[in-house]
Structure 1
Amino acid sequence: MRARKVPAAVLADIADAEWVDTFRRPYVEDGIAWVPVREGYPADEDLPEREAYRGRGYHLIGDVAVLHGDAPTKEELRAIVEHCRPRGVVRVKGFLSEMRVPETEILYGSAGEVRHREQGCTFFLDPTKVMFSKGNRDEKVRIAALVRPGERIADMFSGIGYFTIPAAMSGGRVHAMEINPIAFEYLQRNIMANHLADRVAGELGDCRDLLSGVYDRVLMGHFDAPSMLADALAHVRAGSVLHVHSIGDVSETIRERADEAGFSAAVTSHRVKKYGPHAWHMVQDVTIS
């Protein structure tokens, strides 16, 4: 790995530098960071590639490693720390209420606010206070690729902006709604950090009360989305597209709700990731006619 040697304290300041290879992680030890360098830019050293990691699964969000499920063994925790050398390791036990507040414990080091970079987007968040699903990364990329400049988009469950920001960067005009005040504060901050104030209008509150006008695309990134289809269908037209998240396939329910609203719906289902034994996190793309 071609890398430059810099003080670890400046990592956040250079995250957007042209020479930084954002598809690879820096190697940090004793206050020094070895930052991967893109092709065509000078490097200080060519480091040997590390062995592939085959341990307990985790997501690196900023400089904090986050894992879900059962508590890791001491050996699993040690392997995570040695592999990614995080500031801290956080276990998410679950999420509380419709505000999706994470129930967490810090297993190593310290946590708190992080600056996370993903596919050219910047996200500020505290993984001990708000949800950030790194496992939805491919779905965020897919939605961003579908968005056309000028579309009016409703993000009914925007959180800190994990779908809002990529959609707006693709040229959409996003009405971003969030019920959790802490997540909403980070949403506002991330809108500014990505220079999208002219494309995103954020509102704090229950999305069912905030939907207004007619949308070209509706993002429904919450497992309770099927229960709110009637609210969303009151704000679409022929040609609008909804992206309905759920546990398991809910295509038939979507067609029934669309018929009740006076529409027809063409539904295509996608698997996002395994949710549990015999259960998948699904997204239904719904084209209204």
Structure 2
Amino acid sequence: MRARKVPAAGLADTLGAGWVDRTRRPYVRDGTAWVPVREGYPADADLPEREVYRGRGYHLIGDIAVLHGDAPTEEELAAILRHCRPRSIVRIRGYTGEMRIPDAEVLYGTAGEVRHREQGYTFILDPTRVMFAQGNRTEKARIAALIRPGERVADMFAGIGYFSIPAAASGARVHAMEINPTSFEYLRRNIMANHVADRVTAEVGDCRDLLAGVYDRVLMGHFDAPSMLDDALAHVRAGSVLHVHSIGDATDAIRERAAEAGFRAAIASRRVKKYGPHAWHMVQDVTIS
């Protein structure tokens, strides 16, 4: 791969340059980024092609590799270390309670806070202390694209800001609510880190008690969202849109709840990702009339 050497801190600013080969991914190591170069432009080095990784699946959150499911073998750990050279490897056994607290095991290195970059946003977090919804990347981008400047948006389960920050960056006025105090502190820091403090009002507590006024859009990014529809429907009007997450299709329950609240609902269901055998993480886009 023909590449140019640039400081890793300046990588984001470099990627829009005309000489960058956008069909290939940059390679970052030890504070240096090697950026692929298009044909016809000079390069600093010709790097050997990286071997395709075919090992145990993982997510890289900042410089920490995060695994889910069964404990990995020594061979699987060694393959991950060779492939991405993480600071730490962490296994998440699961999440407990309504606050979704990780049951985490550090398998290698030293865990702790990271600054994770995703789709142009910065998320500060410790993946052993709070959940990071890595698998929802496409859904986060989709919601940001739907936002109209000036919308009043409720994010009922804000977490560390997965949806709140992209929504605010798209021009919304966001009311972000989070019940987990640890996640809330990261939410506050991430709002500042992404320069959207003038467009986000963040509150800690149960969203059912914090909802106020009428919203143009309500983000309900929690699998228990269908059980809280009555609370959300008390704060919408004709034309409002709710994005209701669930395990399996919740269309019938949503339509029934909307009717009980005196509304009609046009519902479009989408699959976000596979949740388990014969089970899908779904999101229902609900337009109120």
> Helix, strand or coil: the match of 2:214?
coil
Other structure's SS at 2:138 match: helix
Partner of 2:175: 175
Q: Which residue number corresponds to residue 212 of structure 1?
A: 212
Match of 1:260, as an amino acid? E
* TM-score of the aligned structures, taking structure 1 as reference length: 0.92
The CA RMSD measured in Å over matched residues stands at 2.0
2:237 pairs with 1:237: yes
Q: 1:240-251, aligned counterparts within 5 Å?
A: 240-251=240-251
How do residues 1-289 of structure 1 correspond to structure 2 at under 5 angstroms?
A: 1=1, 2-4=3-5, 11=8, 13-14=9-10, 16-18=12-14, 24=25, 26-28=27-29, 32-37=30-35, 44-289=44-289
Structure-1 separation of matches of 2:50 and 2:241? 44
Is the CA contact (8 Å cut-off) linking 2:58 and 2:68 kept in structure 1?
yes
Match of 1:99, as an amino acid? Answer: M
Distance in structure 2 (CA, Å) of the matches to 1:36 and 1:168? 32
CA pair 100-3 structure 1, distance change in 2 beyond 3 A = farther
- The one-letter amino acid of 1:4's match is K
Aligned to 1:115, what secondary structure does the other structure show?
strand
Contact 1:27/1:84 (<8 A) preserved: no
Question: How many Å separate the matches in 1 of 2:271 and 2:264?
Answer: 23
Answer whether contact 1:243 1:285 (CA < 8 A) is retained. Answer: yes
Change (3 A) 1:252 1:114: same
**Secondary structure of the corresponding residue to residue 258 of structure 1:** helix
One-letter code aligned to 1:144 = A
Q: Distance in 2 between matches of 1:49 and 1:215?
A: 50
Gaps of 5+ in 2: none
| Structure 1 residues 25 and 68: alpha-carbon distance in aligned structure 2, compared to 1, 3 A threshold | farther
Unaligned runs of 5+ in 1: none
Structure 1 contact 5–33 (Cα < 8 Å) conserved: no
Figure out how many residues of one structure are paired with residues of the other and give that number.
281
TM superposition shift of 1:38: 6.6
Deviation string 1:128-183 (CA, Å, 9 cap, x unpaired) is 00010111000001111111111100000000001111111111111000011111
AA aligned opposite 1:219: L
Cα distance, 1:221–1:76 mapped onto 2, change above 3 Å: same
Taking structure 1 as reference, are residues 176 and 215 closer, same or farther at Cα in structure 2, changes over 3 Å only?
Answer: same
